[in-house]
């Protein structure tokens, strides 16, 4: 309970105590600014040292490669060959170590973050902050997935208003735009989501934006129910993925088999074979539904009454999503199959 002075003397004593506290706050803040300047100098020094070390290691690797070309293996002693192999292994190890170090150092934003945020430092400086931001990203995906499922269900079965559809599509645009920004920040902080699963959200943002601008008409109504039903199914599958992948990642991180900044994705990855293969039929069905949407839209585009450019753009987007999702998932399955075959041959 806070002390509340009642008499004049007590007010004077309270003011004196507040003055002392204020002086302590000033001293603490002055020390904080000093340490912050020291941290900034250390960051610049460490980043510069890593850059110089990378450059020298690259030059050394090129020199070793040149020496190897100029001197056939038969002319090198076993000690020299072993030394060169040891240096090359050490260089690869150092490259990984530098990447871990740079995850805690400020770095220039990529093109996308520079366009959206400008030259703002988005690097989080400790593991707790990084993991908290990653955890908040996962919760955001899970909550918005449930909201999108309920919203699409409402539009599909309860109310058939173009304004409500526009609100749903606007929510999709905002959701995917937010995901792309958050994922870019997470990548800057060490997350290893790469390749198609990053580009996937850019395509989804474009598709949602085109659906938002599609005007009311016969062709829109022709595709509307199919689109909303697909959105319901997609939200359902994404909920399964977020829920089960997060649990699987938690176990793998506890065992030291996955990086702390690894994320759940909308597809299938090699580490999901442990208990998550039941997701594959749902994923492949969703991929072929994207193909079906694309084919439907291209058939609509060939109709004489089709005047909207959105039909062709949505068709191209769905075909892009299908090809990217299908072949990426198929590649993971094929790679796992080949690994199992190699293990069987070894046995």
190-208 as b/e: b if 16+ CB within 10 A: bbebeebbbebbebbbbbb
Question: Which residue is listed with tokens 């606007």?
Answer: 170
Between vectors from CA 250 to CA 245 and to CA 252, what angle results, nearest 5°? 95
* CB 98, CB 50: distance < 8 Å: yes
Q: How far apart are alpha carbons 315 and 341 in whole angstroms?
A: 38
* CB 193, CB 186: distance < 8 Å: yes
pLDDT score, position 173: 95
Query: Residue 131, SS3?
Result: helix
pLDDT score, position 267: 56
pLDDT score, position 198: 84
Predicted TM-score (pTM) of the model is: 0.79
Please list, in sequence order, all residues whose beta carbon lies within 8 angstroms of the beta carbon of residue 213, skipping any fewer than 6 positions away.
310
Alpha helices in 189-271, H assignment, sequence order: 196-213, 218-254
pLDDT score, position 207: 95
pLDDT score, position 102: 79
* CB 134, CB 191: distance < 8 Å: yes
| pLDDT of the chain, 347 residues: tens digit per residue | 455 666 777 888 888 888 999 999 999 999 999 998 998 889 889 988 988 998 888 888 888 788 777 776 656 677 777 787 788 888 888 888 888 787 778 888 888 888 888 888 888 877 788 878 888 888 898 899 999 999 999 999 998 889 999 999 999 999 999 999 988 888 888 777 777 888 889 999 999 999 999 999 889 999 999 999 999 999 998 888 887 776 666 665 555 555 555 555 555 555 565 666 777 888 889 999 999 999 999 999 999 888 899 999 999 999 999 999 888 888 877 777 676 665 555 55
Supply 20's token pair. 């002392």
Please list, in sequence order, all residues whose beta carbon lies within 8 angstroms of the beta carbon of residue 125, skipping any fewer than 6 positions away.
104
Angstrom CA distances, 114 to 110, 117, 141, 189, stand at 6, 5, 24, 15
140-167 as b/e: b if 16+ CB within 10 A: ebbebbeebbebbeebbeeeeeeeebee
* CB 185, CB 122: distance < 8 Å: yes
pLDDT score, position 133: 84
* CB 155, CB 164: distance < 8 Å: yes
pLDDT score, position 204: 94
């Amino acid at each position: 309970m806070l002390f509340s002075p009642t008499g004049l003397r007590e007010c004077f004593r309270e003011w004196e105590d507040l003055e002392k506290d204020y002086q302590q706050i000033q001293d603490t803040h002055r020390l904080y600014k000093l340490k912050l300047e020291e941290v900034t100098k250390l960051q610049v020094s460490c980043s510069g040292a890593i850059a110089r070390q990378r450059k020298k290691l690259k030059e050394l690797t090129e020199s070793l490669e040149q020496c190897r070309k100029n001197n056939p293996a038969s002319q090198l002693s076993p000690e020299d060959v072993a030394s060169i192999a040891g240096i090359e292994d050490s260089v690869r190890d150092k490259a990984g170590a530098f990447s871990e170090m740079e995850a805690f150092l400020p770095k220039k934003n990529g093109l996308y973050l520079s366009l959206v945020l400008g030259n703002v430092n988005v690097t989080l400086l400790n593991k707790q902050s990084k993991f908290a931001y990653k955890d908040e990203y996962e919760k955001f995906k899970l909550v918005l997935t449930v909201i999108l499922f309920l919203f699409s269900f409402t539009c599909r079965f309860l109310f058939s208003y173009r304004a409500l559809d526009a609100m749903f599509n606007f929510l999709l645009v905002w959701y995917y735009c937010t995901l792309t920004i958050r994922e870019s920040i997470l990548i800057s902080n060490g997350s290893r989501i790469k390749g198609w699963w990053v580009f996937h959200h850019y395509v989804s943002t474009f598709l949602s934006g085109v659906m938002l601008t599609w005007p009311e008409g016969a062709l829109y109504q022709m595709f509307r129910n199919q689109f909303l039903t697909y959105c319901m199914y997609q939200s359902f599958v994404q909920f399964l993925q977020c829920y089960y992948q997060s649990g699987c990642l938690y176990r793998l991180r506890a065992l030291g088999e996955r990086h702390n900044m690894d994320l759940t994705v909308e597809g299938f990855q090699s580490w999901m074979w442990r208990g998550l293969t039941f997701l594959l039929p749902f994923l492949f069905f969703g991929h072929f539904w994207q193909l079906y949407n694309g084919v439907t839209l291209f058939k609509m585009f060939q109709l004489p009454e089709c005047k909207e450019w959105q039909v062709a753009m949505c068709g191209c987007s769905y075909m892009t999503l299908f090809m990217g999702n299908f072949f990426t998932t198929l590649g993971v399955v094929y790679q796992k199959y080949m690994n199992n075959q190699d293990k069987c041959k070894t046995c």
